[in-house]
Structure formats: structure tokens, C-alpha cells
Amino acid sequence: MTWLQVYNPLGGIVLSALVAGIPLYILFYMLAVKRAKGHWAALASVVAALVLAVAVWGMPVGMAVSSVFYGAAIGIFPIVWIVVCAIWVYNMTVESGQFEILKTSLASMTEDRRLQAIFIAFAFGSFIEGTAGFGTPVAITAAMLVGLGFEPLYAAGICLIANTAPVAFGALGIPIVVAGQVTGLDIHTISQIVGRQLPFLSVIVPLWLTVTMCGFKRTFEVLPAIIVAGLCFAVSQFTVSNFMGPYLPDIIAAIVTILGLGLFLKVWHPKNIWRFAHEPKATCARSQCPYTQGQVMRAWIPWIILALFVFLWGLDPVKKVLGSALVVSLNWPGLHNLVVKTVPIVAKDAPYAAVYKQALLASAGSAVFFAGFASLPFLPNYGLGKAVNCFGRTILMLRYPILTIALVLGLGFIMNYSGMSATLGLAFTMTGAMFPFFSPFLGWLGVFLTGSDTSSNALFGALQKTTAQQIGVDPHLCVAANSSGGVTGKMISPQSIAVATAASNMVGREGDIFRFTVLHSIAMLVVVGMITLAQAYWLKFMLPGG
């Protein structure tokens, strides 16, 4: 027996949309006001969505529950699988001592605090975002900067601001993959559009960081390094996202930036070495690295192998072979083709498919998993037994983030299948031609509430698609803008701020960090909104096929 979606259950689209937003209000309240843990906030929102879907939108109970479990299943695989494997590789490098060598080699390149911030918070942080995401880069880079002698507030704030440009392609492109999953749109087209928006922001982030630290006058002293870092990252991000897909833009752009800036700093350094006011003046431009080049290279090998494996997994011949092996395909019980979309969301009644199809070996997470084992010979005193034990500890460590991701994906899917996302989308069409400008604001709100660009895309991806179709704008653009705008909300997300305070020994001073980052967040958001509006109407040639 099928069920026909209803989009205006209360007789007025504005009222219906206000009620449809109740699960999101609960999420906002619990995260931003009550500061509840993510999994409890997500659970409360899912329960509210279930009640509304059944009691107000009239969705059968069985279908409502099934849609939550369908979303949770997609949250577990492929999303959680990627996160667990990436953080497992990181944990192994820490336990083997290789990460300490890598950290020291990065810090020894220059004594100038401005350049250290660009190199560690921006370049290296982008690399960690590309492989792990989900708060890991802020935790690592903030701890590194504090260890180098940065003031804790600046260490936390700078790392949060720097963790913007790479977020949309973080954790091996998972935000883009999820956007495609929840909307049914082509992930490569979404990747291309994001890659034609974020580079405009990426190229100025190094400048933004240094101005925040020391003002415009002192920033011009390191302008050559800023230009090198910004161009290395932005050009690489554009190229990879447009010609290789969403999985490797951050990793390759970060590696290019690290190498480019590293080589540049071997032949150039500023005349004046800038340090914080409470610090003694530096006696030289850079300190001596206590490790040999061979030791430093060995510390980088696991990450190089990881990048290589993910690259190979993205090649068509490899994808075809792996995509045909160990495939799980399931018409989701109690949901597949039982929900029917109707006008005005679609031109005519159409069944809403719910097929869980995953090629287990072809997942990017599987590439990282095998890369981890391939790295073992290069990790000193670290064998198979330790690797397996580390994998178990990583899962245990991530048990609550795993639950949170599953619940948030479940929330996104019940809002989609019940029609609540469509109701919100129809209400947003009232902004008319200006919606492309406000489209990134939805992504920003989603990341603020959930701490994750992935979760934001799960929540609002379908809404963006629906609204774009209603106003005659390319839906790929608005879905991409949700992810691009979302990156600017990362620095003020309570979840991200909590990670930053823990890493910089500032627990209890969350309000200070929020005030440090909020204006930067809004300013960057407006920039993305203006870019999206221009691409929707006047700069259509910038879009794929435009």
C-alpha cells in the first residue's frame, strides 16, 4: 500500500513550514542553548520528526520508522566507514611516534608566528580535514600551535577560521557524497560547482588569518608567502574538484600547498620575525629540525600511501572492477517505492525509491582501510596485532560520533520521505529570485547546529534542490551552495568550539572563542552568498555546461 506525500498539511504553507522546522528548532536549542551532547540532541530531533511525520503529515508509522533506519544505514556505510578508517590511520601514526616527527618537521620551518599559522592551521589542517574531518583538524592543529607557544585564544580561533576552505571536501569528500545521496543529483557536478565557489574563499584565507593575528601593516611583510599559499591551495582545489571528483581536492591541494610553501620558505623569509607580545624576540628565521630527512619522509609515507590509494580508487578501471565485487543491494523494506511524491514537487505522481546499494570494496573508506595496512611496514615497532587493536580502540573512541552521524542522517531521511523538507522548500520559494543569495545561509545554519557540513547537507540538501526547481535555478548550484555556505558555519559551531577549547586548554571559555570567530563567519558567508547569486543569473558560464 502506497502513501501520497502532503506538503501543506495545516492549510498555509508558512504555518506548515514553521511546524516542519520544529525538529531543527529542537536541535538548535539543545546544541546552542542547552549544550547537550550531539547524540542526545540528534535523538530528540529524530523523535520529534517521527511524531510530526505521523501526526501532522499523516505518514504511516512503519514507513516513518523505516526511513530513519534507511538514513542511519547510509550514515554507517559509507560515511562512518570512511571516518573510522581515516582516524584509525591517524591514531596509528600517533602511537608509532611518526606523527610527532611530522609535527616537529612542520614547526621547524619558520619561527615566524604568521607563517606557522598558515603552514599548520591552513595547509596541514586542510590535509587532516581531507583525510579525517569531523573536528579532527581543529583538535590536532590547535594543540600543535599551543605546543609551539601560541596564545590559546589565538591558537583556537585561528584554527577554526582556517578550517573553512577545506570543509566541503573533508573526510574524502563525504559532504559532497551525502549531498548527492539525499538529492539524487550527480556528485561530480556538485563537486565541480563547489570547486568554482570555494577557491575564491580559499585564496584569501591565508591573508585573512594573518590580518586577524597582526593587522594589515604587519601582514604585508609576509605577503609573498601568503600569495604562494593561497594560489597553491585555490588552484589545486579548483583543478582536482573539477577534473577528478570530490574525494581528493583537500588532500592534493594541501600537499601542493605544503610542498610549495615549504620550498618557498627555504629560499625566502621575512625581514622581521613576528611573535606575540608576551614572547621574546626570535633570534633566527627558523629552528633546526632534530630529525633527518629520511625520518621526516618516513613520517609522511602513511599519508602519501593514503592519498595514492584514494586516487587509485577513483580511477574508472579500478572503480569498475571493485564496483562489481562484494555489492550489497537491498530494496529498503517498508519504504522502497511506497512513498509517492506529487505536485508541485514533481510534475506528476512518482514513487520515491529507497534502494540501499553499496559496493563494499569500492568505497573510499575501503581505500583508506587498505592504505592503513599498506603503511604498517613504515611504522616502526608497529605490527598487525597493534593495528587491529588500534582499530578496535578507534571504533570505541568514536562510538558517540558514530551514533550522532547515524541519527542525523536518519533525521534527514525522515524529513525527506515525510515531505517536511519539501514543505520547507516550498516556503523558501517565497524569497523568489533572491533565494540563491540565501541558499548558503541554510548550509551555514545546518553546520552551526550540527557541527558538520555532511550533516548539514543531509538536513537541507533536498530542501535546496526543491526550492531551486521551484524558482527555475539549477538545483546543482543551490545544493553546492549549501555545502559552500556550510563551511563558514564550522568556526562558530558549538561542536567545533568545544573541540577547540579542549585542544587549547580553554574549557569554559567557549564564549570568548565564539566572539573571536562570529564576525569572520558572517563576513565569509556573505561572500559565498554573493558568489552564488551571481552564478545563478549573471555568471552562468561559470557553471558546468554554462
Give the least confident one: 154-163, 298-307, 401-410, 500-509.
500-509
Give the least confident one: 15-24, 323-332, 508-517.
508-517
Give the 3-state DSSP-derived string for 204-271, with helices as H, strands as E and coil as C: CHHHHHHHHHHHHHHHHHHHHHHHHHHHHHHHHHHHHHHHCCCCCHHHHHHHHHHHHHHHHHHHCCCC
Q: DSSP character for 274?
A: -
Q: How confident is the model at residue 507 (pLDDT cuts 50, 70, 90)?
A: low
Give the 3-state DSSP-derived string for 455-504, with helices as H, strands as E and coil as C: HHHHHHHHHHHHHHHHHCCCHHHHHHHHHHHHHHHHHHCHHHHHHHHHHC
pLDDT greater at residue 241 or residue 405: 241
The yes-or-no verdict on residue 479 having pLDDT over 60 is yes
| Rounded Cα–Cα distance for residues 490 and 135 (Å) | 9
The yes-or-no verdict on residue 330 having pLDDT over 60 is yes
409-446 b/e with 16+ CB inside 10 Å = b? bbbbbbbbbbbbbbbbbbbbbeeeeebbbbbbbbbbbb
Are the C-beta atoms of 122 and 250 separated by less than 8 Å?
Answer: no
Q: Which helix (H) or strand (E) holds 202?
A: helix 198-202
In this structure, the number of other CB atoms found within 10 A of the CB of residue 115 comes to 26
Give the 3-state DSSP-derived string for 303-321, with helices as H, strands as E and coil as C: HHHHHHHHHHHCCHHHHHH
The per-residue pLDDT for 134 is 63
The yes-or-no verdict on residue 285 having pLDDT over 60 is no
The per-residue pLDDT for 463 is 82
Tally of residues, the chain:
546
| Rounded Cα–Cα distance for residues 242 and 256 (Å) | 17
The yes-or-no verdict on residue 34 having pLDDT over 70 is yes
Closest by Cα among 98, 89, 6 to 379: 98
Q: How confident is the model at residue 506 (pLDDT cuts 50, 70, 90)?
A: confident
- As given in the structure block, the three cell numbers for residue 465 are 534542490
| Rounded Cα–Cα distance for residues 534 and 7 (Å) | 30
392-418: average pLDDT: 86
The yes-or-no verdict on residue 107 having pLDDT over 90 is no
pLDDT greater at residue 347 or residue 22: 22
The per-residue pLDDT for 286 is 59
Contacts 24+ apart (CB under 8 A), 148-153: 148/107, 148/116, 148/120, 149/276, 149/279, 150/113, 150/116, 150/117, 150/276, 151/276, 151/278, 152/504, 152/505, 152/506, 153/504, 153/506, 153/509, 153/512, 153/513, 153/516
The per-residue pLDDT for 300 is 87
The yes-or-no verdict on residue 232 having pLDDT over 90 is yes
Arithmetic mean of pLDDT over the chain: 88
What angle is formed at CA 493 by the lines to CA 490 and CA 498, rounded to 5 degrees? 115
380-408: average pLDDT: 89
The per-residue pLDDT for 221 is 92
193-200: average pLDDT: 94
232-252: average pLDDT: 93
Terminal Cα distance for the chain, rounded: 43
Backbone angles phi, psi at 339, to 5 degrees: -90, 135
22-47: average pLDDT: 83
503-514: average pLDDT: 73
Share of the chain above pLDDT 90, in %: 45
pLDDT digits (tens, 9 = 90+) for 124-183: 889 888 876 666 788 778 877 887 778 888 888 999 999 988 888 887 888 998 899 888
The yes-or-no verdict on residue 284 having pLDDT over 60 is no
- Could you tell me how far CA 339 lies from the centroid of its own chain? 30
The per-residue pLDDT for 454 is 86
3-state secondary structure of 328: strand
The per-residue pLDDT for 229 is 95
**pTM for this prediction:** 0.78
> 366: exposed, middle or buried (C-beta count within 10 Å: 0-12, 13-18, 19+)?
buried
pLDDT digits (tens, 9 = 90+) for 512-532: 888 888 889 999 999 999 999
Cis peptide before 78 (omega within 30 of 0): yes
The per-residue pLDDT for 81 is 86
The yes-or-no verdict on residue 281 having pLDDT over 80 is no
Q: Which helix (H) or strand (E) holds 340?
A: strand 339-341
The yes-or-no verdict on residue 490 having pLDDT over 80 is yes
Alpha helices, DSSP H only, in 358-398? 364-375, 384-397
The yes-or-no verdict on residue 503 having pLDDT over 80 is no
- As given in the structure block, the three cell numbers for residue 524 are 565569509
